[in-house]
Amino acid sequence: MTSLLAFTVLVALVGLERVAELVVSVRNAAWSKERGGVESGQGHFPFMVVLHTGLLVGALAEAWVRRPDVPSVLAWSMLALVVASQALRWWCIASLGRRWNTRVIVVPGLPPETTGPYRFLRHPNYVAVVAEGIALPLVHAAWTTAVVFTVLNAGLLVVRIRAEEAALATLPTTAGAARA
C-alpha cells in the first residue's frame, strides 16, 4: 500500500508539472501571437490533451484496481527514466525560451533553434514524451496503460510532427516554430 500511495504522489506531481507547463505555454503562445505567430495543426490538439490526461488517470486507475506486485528494479529504473524525461522536457523548454508552447505556432523571422537538445535532435521533446509515457505507468507496473498510451501516442506523433514540419516549411529558413 505504501508504494501505491507513493505512486499516487508521483502521478500527482507529474500532473502539477503539466499545470506548470500549461502556464508557461499560454504565456509563450500569447508572446508568439503578439509577434505575428501563426498557429496551425489545431485539429489534433484536443486528442493530445485527452491522451496525456488519460496517461495520468489510466496509470492511477490501473495501479489502484490491479494492485500489482512491483519488482523494485522495475520501479526504481522507471522512476529514473521519468526523472530523466522531465529533465529533457525542461531542457527543451529552456532552450526554446518564449518560443516553446504546446501548440504549433510559427513566428516569422526568428532564427532556427540550434542550442540545447536541438543541437542533436529535431524534436527532442518527443523523446521525453515517449520515455515518460512508457516509464510513468511502469513505475507501478501499469503495463496496459503504458502499452495503450504508447500505441496511441505513436499515431499522434506522426500527425503532430507532420504538422510541425509543414509549419516550419512555410518559412524561408525553417526558422522559429514553437516546437515541442
Question: b/e for 6-41, b at 16 or more Cβ within 10 A?
Answer: ebeebbeebeeebeebeebbeebbebbeeeebebeb
Q: Are 177 and 168 in contact (CB under 8 A)?
A: yes
Whether residue 43 lies inside any domain: the answer is yes
C-alpha cell at 101: 508552447
User: Which amino acid is present at 17?
Assistant: E
CA distance 178 to 180: 7
Whether residue 179 lies inside any domain: the answer is no
pLDDT of residue 3: 94
Residue 102: CB partners within 8 Å, gap ≥ 6?
21, 22, 25, 29, 45, 48, 180
For residue 91, give the CATH number of its domain. 1.20.120.1630
Whether residue 127 lies inside any domain: the answer is yes
Whether residue 180 lies inside any domain: the answer is no
For residue range 48-84, what is the model confidence (pLDDT) as tens digits?
Answer: 999 999 999 999 999 999 999 999 999 999 999 999 9
Residue 94: CB partners within 8 Å, gap ≥ 6?
116
> What's the mean per-residue pLDDT of the chain?
93
Q: What is the DSSP string of 97-164?
A: GGG--SSEEE-TTPPPP-SGGGGT-SSHHHHHHHHHHHHHHHTTT-HHHHHHHHHHHHHHHHHHHHHH
What's this model's pTM, rounded to 2 decimal places? 0.91
pLDDT of residue 176: 46
Whether residue 96 lies inside any domain: the answer is yes
Q: Are 33 and 89 in contact (CB under 8 A)?
A: no
- Domains of the chain: total: 1
pLDDT of residue 174: 45
Whether residue 175 lies inside any domain: the answer is no
Query: Which regions in the chain score pLDDT beneath 50?
Result: 174-177
Whether residue 106 lies inside any domain: the answer is yes
Crossing angle of helices 124-138 and 45-66, in 10° steps, is 20
Q: Which residue range forms the structural domain that includes residue 115?
A: 2-169
